[in-house]
Structures are given as C-alpha cells and as structure tokens.
A = this chain, B = another copy of it.
Amino acid sequence: MMDILVFLIFLGATFAAGATGAMFPPGHWYERLEKPPWTPPNWMFPVAWTSLYLLMSFAGARVAGVDGSGFAMAFWAAQIALNTLWTPVFFGLRRLKQAVPIMALLWVAVAGCMVTHWQIDTLAGLAFVPYLAWVTVAGALNISVAARNPNVEPVALQDQP
C-alpha cells in the first residue's frame, strides 16, 4: 500500500523543512534565553524532528493516491510549509511572538493531518500522534520563551550592511 518512491519525495519535502535547522541554528543566542524548567534538552530536538519527518513521510505515502485523500494531502502540504516557515522566523528573525501564530497554525494542520489520515489508514493516523504531541510541547515552549524574554531584539535585516 506504500510506494517507496512517493515516500522518498515526501521525505525530500521534509528535508527542505529540516534544512532550516542547520541553516538557522539556535547557537549562543538561544542558549542565553530564559527558558522554562521543562525545556527539552538540546539533543532531543534533532532526534525528535528526524523521527517525526520519517513518520510523516510514511503516513503521507500510505495515504497519497488513495481515493478521497484530498483533505489529508492538503493538510500534509500545509503542515510542511508552516514547519519550514517557523525556524527562519524564530531563529533567523528572532521574532519570538510572531512565531507563535505560525506554531498555532502548524498545530491545527497537524491535527487535521492526524484526523484525515486516520480516516483512511489507521497506521497513518497513528504516525501523526507523536508529531501532534511534540508540536504541543514546542508551541508551549515558544509561548513561554516569548513571555520570559520580552526584550529580545528581532534581527533587523534592513540594518545589515
């Protein structure tokens, strides 16, 4: 039921999202931010994202091309675009508050993925459960960090020489 080539193209889409983590790295700036005590350790982020990228590509490949998968595929596209957008806004522009609605929309898109994939294929729906859990934690972390660091200056691109 899963086409390996379709899986690999979905994985390519997640690679574009994942590349933001390497191109907009947290670095010293993130280290110095005030963070809540339940902040996951740094090593957990790439491990979680790699696992989630594999799971979402697996789910997409299970469901893509199945009759009636229109909503599932539209939500899948929306979540990967929002996922790609969040990192440059948070770590590139350091717009902590502007990143919150992006994360909120991502949460909605992932919830939409979970429900619509589940309707077609139980395994595909289950594959989105850890993603939704992680985005819930990441969203709470984004909100908490934005609240604890009200004086963070966004990167002003227009002031760059």
Interface set of A (CB-CB < 8 Å, partner B):
3, 5-6, 9-10, 12-14, 16-17, 19-20, 23-25, 27-29, 60-61, 64-71, 73-78, 80-85, 88-89, 91-95, 98, 102, 105, 109, 112, 153, 155, 157-158, 160-161
Contact = CB atoms under 8 A, between A and B. Distances in A.
B76 A65 contact: no
Q: How many copies of this chain does one complex carry?
A: 2
Listed from nearest, the 3 A-B pairs whose CB atoms lie closest are: A65-B70, A88-B88, A9-B74
A158 B92 CA distance: 10
A9 B70 CA distance: 10
A127 to B, nearest CB: 15
B13 A77 contact: yes
A77 B60 contact: yes
